Amino acid sequence: MIKSFILKYITLIIIIFLWQGCRQQATVGEPYAIQKVARSSQAMVVTAHPLATEIGVEILERGGNAVDAAVAVQFALAVVYPIAGNIGGGGFMLIRDTSGETSALDFREKAPMAAYRDLYLDSMGQVVEGMSITGHLSVGVPGAVDGMWKAHQRYGRLPWNELLAPAVALASEGILLTSQEAAELNAEREVIRTVNAGPVPFIQDIPWRTGDRLVQTELGATLQRIADAGRDEFYLGETARLLVRESERGGGILTMDDLAAYEAHWREPLIGRFHGMEVISMPPPSSGGVALLQLLKATEHYLIDRDAGTCVQTVHLMTELERRVYADRAKYLGDPDFVDVPMQILLDSQYIIDRLRGIRLDTVTPSSEIQAGLIPGYESDQTTHFSILDADGMAVSTTTTLNLAYGSKVVVEGAGFFLNNEMDDFSIKPGVPNYFGLIGYAANAIEPGKRMLSSMTPTIVVDHEKPRLIVGSPGGSKIITTVYQIILQTLVFGQDLPDAVAMPRYHHQWRPDTLFVENGRVHPDTLEQLRHMGHRVVERTPIGRVDAIWIDDNGSVTGAADPRGDDSAKGH
Ligand code: GLY
């Protein structure tokens, strides 16, 4: 199975050519050199933007550890990568320190206290289209600033204000737009204009072009206040007042009390075993860790017990497992502070084996025939991930988001940053799909102060007490399957990390009953065979953007930045 999987892929010469092209240092006309693959003997930073990567490396060079670098990168991304980098959003950070202790920081947004189950339904009980996606009502209480503060308080080595200084400078002096950034801002221009009352730095009279300078003066001042006064400035001070004023202006429901009450939480990381290694990932309120471990446990059952055959059969098997895991996600996963997530059962080997019954290796099980498992007694893709390893071996895997591109599109007047539209990650009506097509039920229903279910899957794989792989991805519902695929490709099929990151990706999430594959990246014969087995195959835009680090037995470190974006790797 392993050999044929690799062989099939190797024949996709076009992909190799594309990938070779991506390894070049800079693309003509782009304002910054972008390094897709970096090698080092000790430390590495891989992020969605070359300037953020550079800042992470600078912090390491100044004696900061991986958490210092992560905090600086998070604030830098809020400036250089406004489509997903943020202070108005949230995320998850997984840390493995030099003693091997792991911790998981949940800085996910929360529903405002005035939110309620049917917030996005009209008087007839129908979903009001777009209400949970765009504008002031779609905003959850942001968690990113408190998250960075708590990470720094526990692990930081360098002073807080030094970590924000590079972001302040970039916001005030301006950054040059890459071609992808210019195109993305132009694509959202009308919505951003409609949602915001006054002028915002993200739109100008004429469309953006590659190399144009984006200056964010108000954001620079906001970041300076946070640098000077810490997290309280954002949740209790001038920034909080500006944020609430913006919410009220646009008919939102965020209050000063919501901000004052926000706390990021340290949670127990989820740890499982796969292929003889330890896989550490994020617990609820992300579904990522549970789903990833379910997938890996199920996969191992097949790899040990069966010869699953060719590449097509591998994709088929992955798809069948994904259907079942996403059905469980929809029913059982939600914020553990509000619902009992039956984690032990979901990760129980016998439960997982039972879930595999009915899988056939020659034909699909339609999603309509699959329900969540029976547990007695008893829910844009524009996110961004960065991976950091410092010279002492501390590993940080962080996924952070505004939810969709530029979140709610609301820019806080006077403070200069985008607010998330994370409320759409709740199940706004039982069984009605959200933006990502994910459905959910009571476990992920809106409740005041509750965290919406996420798919973010920051993950660290440990082999013989040493980090082996630091990985994660944006992509909404597709995050879990992207991380799953990278783990299979590297750990099981033995691919070099950069090649694994460049490979075409597949995704199935139970509902809709569709196997998504990246446009034009998979050989027509493979698609034909999958269709013949009964899969409804749909080609779509890129799936995931993986920024990952691989550490060899001999300690050499490879950073792999996804060729699908401006992502950049740099060693130290
Ligand atoms: N907003 C995407 C996620 O959290 O899964």
User: What digits encode the pLDDT tens for the residues 198-246?
Assistant: 999 999 999 999 999 999 999 999 999 999 999 999 999 999 999 999 9
Give the model confidence (pLDDT) of 420-435 as tens digits: 999 999 999 999 999 9
Helix (H) or strand (E) holding 40: strand 37-40
Angle among Cα 284, 290, 295 to the nearest 5 degrees reads 160
pLDDT of the residue at 14 = 30
Task: Please check whether residue 404 is in contact with residue 130, taking contact to mean a CB–CB distance below 8 angstroms.
Answer: no
- Alpha carbon distances (Å) from 176 to 25, 26, 30, 170, 210: 18, 15, 9, 10, 8
Lowest mean pLDDT among 208-212, 351-355, 358-362, 524-528: 358-362
Task: Please check whether residue 255 is in contact with residue 112, taking contact to mean a CB–CB distance below 8 angstroms.
Answer: yes
Ligand 1: atom nearest CA of 452 is 4
Tell me the three state secondary structure of residue 277.
strand
pLDDT of the residue at 376 = 63
Tell me the three state secondary structure of residue 261.
helix
Res. 13: pLDDT tops 80: no
| Residues pairing with 507 in the sheet | 516
When pLDDT is cut at 50, 70 and 90, the band that residue 306 belongs to is very low
Question: Using CA positions, which residue lies closest to atom 1 of ligand 1?
Answer: 403
Q: Return the closest-CA partner of residue 482 out of 285, 278, 290, 292.
A: 292
Q: Return the closest-CA partner of residue 394 out of 26, 5, 101, 159.
A: 101
Task: Please check whether residue 166 is in contact with residue 77, taking contact to mean a CB–CB distance below 8 angstroms.
Answer: no
Res. 7: pLDDT tops 90: no
Does the beta carbon of 383 sit less than 6 angstroms from any atom of ligand 1?
Answer: yes
Does the beta carbon of 384 sit less than 6 angstroms from any atom of ligand 1?
Answer: no
pLDDT of the residue at 18 = 30
Among 86, 93, 107, 422, which is best to mutate for testing ligand 1, by the most ligand atoms less than 8 A from CB? 422
What is the 3-state secondary structure of 169-187?
A: HHHHHCEECCHHHHHHHHH
pLDDT of the residue at 1 = 46
Res. 475: pLDDT tops 60: yes
Task: Please check whether residue 308 is in contact with residue 356, taking contact to mean a CB–CB distance below 8 angstroms.
Answer: no
Q: What mean pLDDT comes out for the span 552-559? A: 97
Does the beta carbon of 456 sit less than 6 angstroms from any atom of ligand 1?
Answer: yes
Pairwise CA distance, residues 238 & 233, whole Å:
6
| Residues pairing with 278 in the sheet | 273, 462
When pLDDT is cut at 50, 70 and 90, the band that residue 28 belongs to is low
Pairwise CA distance, residues 390 & 156, whole Å:
13
Res. 380: pLDDT tops 70: no
When pLDDT is cut at 50, 70 and 90, the band that residue 29 belongs to is confident
Res. 308: pLDDT tops 60: no
Res. 112: pLDDT tops 50: yes
When pLDDT is cut at 50, 70 and 90, the band that residue 9 belongs to is very low
Q: What mean pLDDT comes out for the span 528-539? A: 97
Does the beta carbon of 455 sit less than 6 angstroms from any atom of ligand 1?
Answer: yes
What is the tally of helices (H) and strands (E) in the chain?
A: 18, 19
Res. 390: pLDDT tops 80: yes
Pairwise CA distance, residues 313 & 2, whole Å:
11
pLDDT of the residue at 251 = 98
Token pair 């996606």 is found at 133
Pairwise CA distance, residues 182 & 211, whole Å:
8
| pTM greater than 0.85 | yes
Omega of the bond leading into 82 within 30 degrees of 0 (cis): no
Does the beta carbon of 476 sit less than 6 angstroms from any atom of ligand 1?
Answer: yes
DSSP string computed for 518-554: ETTTS-HHHHHHHHHTT--EEEES-----EEEEE-TT
Q: What mean pLDDT comes out for the span 479-484? A: 98
Beta-carbon-side half-sphere exposure of residue 59 (alpha carbons within 13 Å): 36
Res. 25: pLDDT tops 90: no
Q: How far is the CA of 324 from the centre of ligand 1 (A)?
A: 20
Ligand 1: atom nearest CA of 479 is 5
Q: What mean pLDDT comes out for the span 386-398? A: 98
Q: What mean pLDDT comes out for the span 274-299? A: 97
Among 398, 403, 426, which is best to mutate for testing ligand 1, by the most ligand atoms less than 8 A from CB? 403
Lowest mean pLDDT among 15-24, 238-247, 259-268, 277-286: 15-24
Q: What mean pLDDT comes out for the span 16-39? A: 63
**To the nearest 5 percent, what fractions of the chain are helix, strand and coil?**
40, 15, 45
When pLDDT is cut at 50, 70 and 90, the band that residue 15 belongs to is very low
Res. 485: pLDDT tops 60: yes
Pairwise CA distance, residues 496 & 469, whole Å:
12
Does the beta carbon of 403 sit less than 6 angstroms from any atom of ligand 1?
Answer: yes
Tokens linked to 31: 């304002």
Tell me the three state secondary structure of residue 405.
coil
Pairwise CA distance, residues 344 & 180, whole Å:
43
Question: Using CA positions, which residue lies closest to atom 4 of ligand 1?
Answer: 454
| Residues pairing with 547 in the sheet | 561
Pairwise CA distance, residues 284 & 528, whole Å:
37
Angle among Cα 484, 487, 488 to the nearest 5 degrees reads 85
Q: How far is the CA of 362 from the centre of ligand 1 (A)?
A: 33
Q: How far is the CA of 238 from the centre of ligand 1 (A)?
A: 28
Query: 178, 319, 383, 399: which one is catalytic?
Result: 383
- Alpha carbon distances (Å) from 197 to 101, 131, 192, 410, 513: 48, 18, 10, 9, 41
Distance of CA 187 to the CA centre of its chain: 21
Ligand 1: atom nearest CA of 287 is 5
Q: How far is the CA of 287 from the centre of ligand 1 (A)?
A: 9
Give the model confidence (pLDDT) of 151-161 as tens digits: 999 999 999 99
Mean pLDDT estimate for the chain:
92
pLDDT of the residue at 311 = 83
**Residue ranges of domains in the chain, CATH in brackets:** 267-382+455-571 (3.60.20.40)
Tokens linked to 502: 């460049």
- Alpha carbon distances (Å) from 122 to 29, 119, 127, 341, 437: 49, 8, 6, 30, 20
Pairwise CA distance, residues 462 & 473, whole Å:
18
Q: What does DSSP say about strands 515-518 and 506-507: parallel, antiparallel, or unpaired?
A: antiparallel
Res. 8: pLDDT tops 60: no
Does the beta carbon of 425 sit less than 6 angstroms from any atom of ligand 1?
Answer: yes
When pLDDT is cut at 50, 70 and 90, the band that residue 305 belongs to is very low
User: Alpha helices, DSSP H only, in 13-65?
Assistant: 13-22, 50-61
Amino acid in the structure at residue 203:
I
Task: Please check whether residue 462 is in contact with residue 456, taking contact to mean a CB–CB distance below 8 angstroms.
Answer: no
- With 0-12 CB in 10 A as exposed, 13-18 as middle and 19+ as buried, what is 116? middle
Pairwise CA distance, residues 47 & 36, whole Å:
10
For the chain, percent of residues with pLDDT exceeding 90 = 90
Token pair 């959910």 is found at 440
* Active site annotation includes 398: no
Question: Using CA positions, which residue lies closest to atom 2 of ligand 1?
Answer: 476
Among 132, 436, 483, which is best to mutate for testing ligand 1, by the most ligand atoms less than 8 A from CB? 436
Say how many C-beta atoms besides its own lie within 10 A of residue 100's C-beta: 12
Task: Please check whether residue 139 is in contact with residue 131, taking contact to mean a CB–CB distance below 8 angstroms.
Answer: no
Which strands, in side-by-side order, build the sheet including 466-471? 37-40, 557-561, 547-551, 466-471, 459-463, 277-281, 270-274
Q: What mean pLDDT comes out for the span 79-98? A: 98
Ligand 1: atom nearest CA of 474 is 2
How many residues are given for the chain? 572
Tokens linked to 221: 């001042």
Pairwise CA distance, residues 61 & 570, whole Å:
12
When pLDDT is cut at 50, 70 and 90, the band that residue 375 belongs to is confident
Res. 98: pLDDT tops 70: yes
pLDDT of the residue at 382 = 81
